[in-house]
Each structure stands twice: as structure tokens, then as C-alpha cells.
Structure 1
């Protein structure tokens, strides 16, 4: 039996995924926000769907596509949802399939539950950080029921790496100087480094499911980009450590921008 909030987030993500793919399979029209980031009809529709589900839990919502609540009110929230309706809008526009729906439940600044849905391949990741359980389910339909999700779910298990080879997650869009320095440092330790590229929050999933060892993120991200992946990683013993504080990333901060971070055992 699943936690009721994870059930709600899974249902919301599947319904949002269906709406996203309706747009994906038609003409994608792109507009640009004030910060020059792209926005499509898929972002808007998925956001509407997700909000309609999550608001039934009477827990406040921070979504990339919602008007942000003033911090003076937000700081009184001990729980909130963090949502990115389409994480990897650039990947969506490129039609490479590497975009996700991210939904997380945060409590007292820490990610407790995370759901990441990859609608292009109908693959769902979800995890409960407190119960230390995370799963992956490859679905046949966006209309899958919770029981069907449960029946198809397989536990996520990160790598137990004892070899000299280190698989490093690199972004298709953000391989900058700091990341290259990190890779060079591994090579100087005598490690055999292999780069594994993925878009969006799938980079967290690669580490959580054992298809990579480490994900250095030395480029800007927002809280809604990372909270779901952070929860899923925590559920399988993977840490998400801020390079600014040397402690886990925290959420519902006054500034919703994350510091650089490292995802690893």
C-alpha cells in the first residue's frame, strides 16, 4: 500500500504526462519567459492538471509555472509540494524524449517523497525517503491505475562500485568548466571516467538505479528541478550535497535557486 500523498503525486504525474504527449505529438509553439527560458503549451496544461490533483491534499504548492508566494508566507509552511510540470523543456522542444514531470513533497525543508515521470517512454520513478524505498515502473499507458503501477514496480538499487571505472552523469546542455575540472580530478586519481549524458531530472534517476556513480551539478538549478530526484536518491542511500554548505540541499528557501551540488554515495 502506498502513502496517500505518493499515490496522489503519481496520479497527477501520469495525467500530466498524457497532456504533455498530446502537445508533443502536434506542433510545438514556444514562447519565452522574462528569464529567456522557453515555455510551451505543455508546461501550462501539465501545470493545470497537477495543481488540480495536488490542491485536494490542502498542502501549498510551489510550481515553476505558478505565481510564487511571498517568502513571508512561505516560511510559515512546514510542508509544501514542489512541482516542475515539464522539466527539460529544451529537451521537449528538441523532441529527444528526455523530459520529465517532477513532483516532490517537502517537509521542514527536506524532500520526503518524490515522483518523476518520463512520459515519452511511460516510465515512472518514485521514492519515499523516510521508508528508504524507491521504485521504477515501465507502464503500458498513461492511464495506468495505482494497482497496475504497483504490480509493475521494481526496486531501485544504486551501484556498489568496486572497480576503477567511474560513470559520471553529464548534462547535454551544461558541461561547463567546473564540471570538466571535477572530471579531470577523478582522472588524476587514476580513475577511468566515462560520461553518461541525460537531460532533465533523469540524471538523478541514473545514479539511483545504478546506471551511473556520480552526478556533479555545477550549473544553476531551481528547487523544483531537484526536489523529486533528491527524495528518490535519499530513499536508496544516495546523498545530494550542496557545494556551498557541505550539507544536503534544503527546500522552500527564501531564494528558490539551488547552490551547486554533488549526487553520490
Structure 2
């Protein structure tokens, strides 16, 4: 399969992310208010608008949706789902509020708890990443506008290739907003093994993209994340042979769990 024959579900996710991205930037360029949700996380009009738009694309597929901004379905019902969409309408709301451009739209499709398709759109720079895990294909397209067709996205697509690192330099992805003590310990451990370490900072799910496109070697995440923060990034990484491994199980991260909170994990070859 080539980028010219991507599935209908991947096309739907690409179109949904582009439309959501345009709405997000309309808010970004205005004087927006910030609410605080019950879990103390920030919420803006962009999150709500983007979620409504994404739902309008995904609901007709008749595949159930787990979204950060939707009311969550009880696990008694979810556990029977073979497939589900996993969505974060604005990943990196803190980055959005800081206006640093490092926020994304994340849309993934999981089957049997495993991400099969993933889209990450970076609306501030009109760059989209998309992947089909089964066919081991992942691409990046740099666009001129939000309102482009899927055909135009495919026409601009460049294949993602991770690093083949044989040097002693290890580029480690760290978070702009929070670098935990455990991450610092991980870096120290690399140095003890004789590695030279360089920290590469990015917000939101862009951290996965850095590893998938060869701009970093490893992304240790020893801090809390939710399934919608990681599913699309995991799909993009898995499609190019990068593993996203749970620190608890030493197996790949799974989705549509009873608890939607992820364990700590490591993104690496």
C-alpha cells in the first residue's frame, strides 16, 4: 500500500484534524478565556470547538469515541468495544495558552487495544503527521493552508524515517512543561554508560514525532499521561518501528483500559 491508497478511516481522521486545526487557530488569534476543569487542567474555547468538529466527522463512522472532552463511557460498556477512536482535540493546552505553537490535534483509531492509525496535526505551523501501522507507513506533510483536501495532503507527504544511531550522542526528548526527577535519573544513567546526552524539548505529542522523524533517539515519559495524549503518537512511532513500552508491563502501551491513565513509558527503537 502507498500513501495513494490510504484507508477511509485515515482520510476521515486527516480531514477532521485539519478542520479542527482551523477552528483552534481562530481562537488562538483572539482574546480567549481559560476555564479550569475539575481535574485542575485548563480548558479553552478551542478545546470545545475542536472537539465538536472532530465528533462531527467521527460519529458517522459508527466507531465509538474516547475523547478528553467527551463524557466518558463506563468501562462496563467500553470493554466490549473492539474498535474505538481516541481523541485529544487540543493536546498541549498549556502550550496553547503560552502561545508557543507547540500544541496538536491527536486522533487515533485503536483495535483490540492497539493503535492502528494515527494523525497528529500541528495547526500553528500547518504540519500534519499521519500513519498506518499495519502497512508500516508514516508521513509528514507541510501545508500552506488548513482547508486543503486529503489528496493535497498526500501529494505533499514525505516518509518519516527514524534515526539509525551508532554514535555516543543520545538525543533525549524532554518536556517543556515538566521534567521529572525520574527523567533526570534516566539521563544520568545514560551518562554513566558513557553516552553524551543532549535534551531536545518539545510540548504535546510532538515529542513522539521527534523520535519518529529522526530528530531524537528516545523519549522517556516518567510522569502522568492519559490515553488521548499518546495513542496517535504511538501509532506514528509504531509505523516506523519505534516501540512505546510500558514501564509496568514491559509490553507496548494498551488502550481502552478500565483506567484511561497511562503507566510511565519509554519511546525507543
Matched, 1:187 2:191: yes
Stretches (4+) displaced over 4 A: none
**1:25 matched residue in structure 2:** 29
**1:207 matched residue in structure 2:** 211
Which of these residues, 211, 215, 221, is aligned with residue 217 of structure 1?
Answer: 221
Matched, 1:244 2:248: yes
TM-score of the superposed pair, with normalisation by structure 1: 1.00
Q: Would you say how many aligned residue pairs link Structure 1 and Structure 2?
A: 265
Cα distance in 2, alignment partners of residues 130 and 250 from structure 1: 16
Which of these residues, 137, 144, 147, is aligned with residue 140 of structure 1?
Answer: 144
Cα distance in 1, alignment partners of residues 52 and 161 from structure 2: 33
Which of these residues, 177, 180, 184, is aligned with residue 176 of structure 1?
Answer: 180
Residue 28 of structure 1 and its aligned partner are, at CA, apart by 1.9
Which of these residues, 4, 7, 12, is aligned with residue 8 of structure 1?
Answer: 12
Per-residue Cα deviation, 1:10-67 (whole angstroms, up to 9, x for no partner) = 0000000000000000012100001100000000000000000001111000000000
Residue 255 of structure 1 and its aligned partner are, at CA, apart by 0.1
SS for the counterpart of 2:66 is strand
SS for the counterpart of 1:120 is coil
Which of these residues, 247, 250, 259, is aligned with residue 255 of structure 1?
Answer: 259
Residue 174 of structure 1 and its aligned partner are, at CA, apart by 1.7
Per-residue Cα deviation, 1:199-252 (whole angstroms, up to 9, x for no partner) = 000000000000000000000000000000000000000000000100000000
Per-residue Cα deviation, 1:57-91 (whole angstroms, up to 9, x for no partner) = 11000000000000000000000000000000000
Residue 187 of structure 1 and its aligned partner are, at CA, apart by 0.3
RMSD: 0.4
Residue 129 of structure 1 and its aligned partner are, at CA, apart by 0.7
Cα distance in 2, alignment partners of residues 73 and 184 from structure 1: 44
Q: How does 1:107-126 map to 2 (within 5 A)?
A: 107-126=111-130
**2:74 matched residue in structure 1:** 70
Per-residue Cα deviation, 1:106-129 (whole angstroms, up to 9, x for no partner) = 000000000000000000000011
Per-residue Cα deviation, 1:130-171 (whole angstroms, up to 9, x for no partner) = 100000000001001111101100000000001100000000
Cα distance in 2, alignment partners of residues 177 and 154 from structure 1: 36
**1:102 matched residue in structure 2:** 106
Unaligned runs of 5+ in 2: none
Cα distance in 2, alignment partners of residues 150 and 227 from structure 1: 22
TM-score of the superposed pair, with normalisation by structure 2: 0.98
Per-residue Cα deviation, 1:175-212 (whole angstroms, up to 9, x for no partner) = 01000000000000010000000000000000000000
Matched, 1:160 2:167: no
